[in-house]
Homo-oligomer: A and B are copies of this chain.
Amino acid sequence: MIVNMSSDATEEQIQHVIDRIKECGYQPHLIRGAERAVIGAVGKSDHHRNQLEALRAAPGVEEIIPIAHPFKLVSRQMRPERTMVEVRGVRIGGGDVVVMAGPCSVESREQLLQTARGVKAAGAHMLRGGAYKPRTSPYDFQGLGVEALQILKEAREETGLPVVTEVMSTEEIETVSEYADMLQVGARNMQNFPLLRRLATTPRPILLKRSPSATIKEWLLAAEYLVAGGNPNVVLCERGIKTFETEMRNTLDLAGVALAKELSHLPVVVDPSHATGRRSLVPAAARAAVAIGADGLLIEVHPCPERALSDGPQSLDLGGFAELMRGLAEPLLRFSTPNGRS
């Protein structure tokens, strides 16, 4: 921690900060610059970091600058080798790109089974589908609940695809865990700490979506809640952040995926469907996600998007999904030829 004193700080104020740093169990290092003093606080224990931060309120202090990363267990510093998360035999972070596909919401048995068979045939590795839906408006379709979970289970039994589905509250964890192989924390719940603390104690792997307003540090700190609480099987999922641009539903932060993998050993997957909100952009965005190093993809697929009860505009139909899968197998420079323009 570095304490940046304001340029008109008095000697008493500097001394007071030095005393407080010692009181908190850290060693102070004073550097006197041409215009101002800067005081480094060095120490092993993190117990009193909050107290150091409160020094921002002490007279003469302009700024407190943290030096160490706030996350620990999820950092590559702590664990340089990459984590691999296994979901019923599917390995995320093991080198292959894992594709999880399915509808936004489970709407009916027919809709889900048709989708599950289709995505399986096209090469998907896991099945996604919402049973409990967080919806911005109370008047929108809120999901089929347990009925949807039963349908998901049936689809898994038929196709063999492991199932990932969202859990919205601590009370749903037990039920959802009976049916699903991986529990998804939705973007709006990324900082629902009571939920994270309970999920930290389940044996199921977790898919942690990035909140559209979370910095990468906040995202990794949310993962830290899970890992510190006892669940090391966490997969991060980038699904777009909120910016001034409104042509797309969100702004897909692909460089953020590369950065998250630089800072953390956890696998990172990408959801280009929610990120763009536009069906036409999903295949190209999926290719880009793979190119930047994503460990997997989350793709919304619906047999008839224009009749979907949620997120139709961003859903691919089965033909579109098969095409996306073929696109992933094409070379990076697919248009180029040796002698110039193709």
Contacts and interface: CB of A to CB of B under 8 A. Distances in A.
A216 B246 CA distance: 9
Interface residues of A, number: 127
Contact of A312 (B53, B253, B259, B335): B53
A284 B288 CA distance: 10
A341 B94 contact: yes
Interface in A256-278: 256, 258-259, 262, 272, 275-276, 278
A215 B191 contact: no
Interface string A324-337: 00001111110111
**In the assembly, how many copies of this chain are there?**
4
A54 B244 contact: no
A332 B335 contact: no
Interface of A: 2, 4, 7-8, 20, 29, 31-36, 38, 40, 42-44, 46, 49-51, 53-58, 64-65, 67-68, 70-72, 77, 84, 91, 94-97, 134-141, 168-172, 188-189, 191-195, 211-213, 215-218, 221, 224-225, 228-229, 241-248, 251-256, 258-259, 262, 272, 275-276, 278-281, 284-285, 287-293, 305-310, 312-313, 315, 328-333, 335-337, 340-342
